């Protein structure tokens, strides 16, 4: 029996697969096969397990004054890794939300 390789994909709405929404309450999600994590799973094949940990609004290390500290990617990274152990690889896809005007980083 071949060992299943486990890959954690940790990121923001791009990893979550959020589709464009008309309002905050109209949250839609692309189908599993359309999300990049699903495309990755299909490309790698049956010997891999892709674990999606995407949260819309997640930042790299910033507490969001509007959406809350729960969007700080660094804060939840270790508990997330511990939850999904054992892992063979981790893909981190963060940074887009750090460019929000309210953070004044650019």
Question: Is residue 2 scored above 90 in pLDDT?
Answer: no
Q: Give 44's DSSP letter.
A: H
Question: Distance (Å, rounded) from C-alpha 58 to C-alpha 73?
Answer: 6
Selection from 75, 61, 80, 95 nearest residue 6 by Cα: 80
Would you state the structure tokens that stand for residue 16, as one six-digit string? 């979550």
For the residues 44-71, what does the mean pLDDT come to?
96
CA gap 28, 6 in Å, rounded: 27
- The strand pair at 5-11 and 89-93 is best described as parallel
pLDDT at 24 over 70: no
Q: What is the pLDDT of residue 25?
A: 72
% the chain with pLDDT above 70? 97
- The answer to whether residues 18 and 56 touch, using CB atoms and an 8 Å cutoff, is yes
């Amino acid at each position: 029996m071949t060992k299943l390789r486990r890959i954690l994909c940790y990121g923001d709405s791009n990893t979550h697969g959020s589709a464009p929404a008309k309002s905050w309450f109209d949250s839609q999600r692309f189908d599993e096969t359309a999300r990049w994590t699903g495309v990755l799973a299909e490309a790698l094949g049956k010997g891999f397990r892709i674990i999606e940990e995407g949260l819309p609004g997640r930042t790299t290390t910033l507490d969001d004054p509007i959406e809350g500290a729960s969007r700080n990617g660094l804060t939840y990274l270790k508990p997330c890794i511990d939850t999904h152990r054992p892992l063979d690889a981790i893909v981190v896809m963060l940074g887009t939300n750090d460019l929000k005007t309210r953070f004044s980083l650019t």
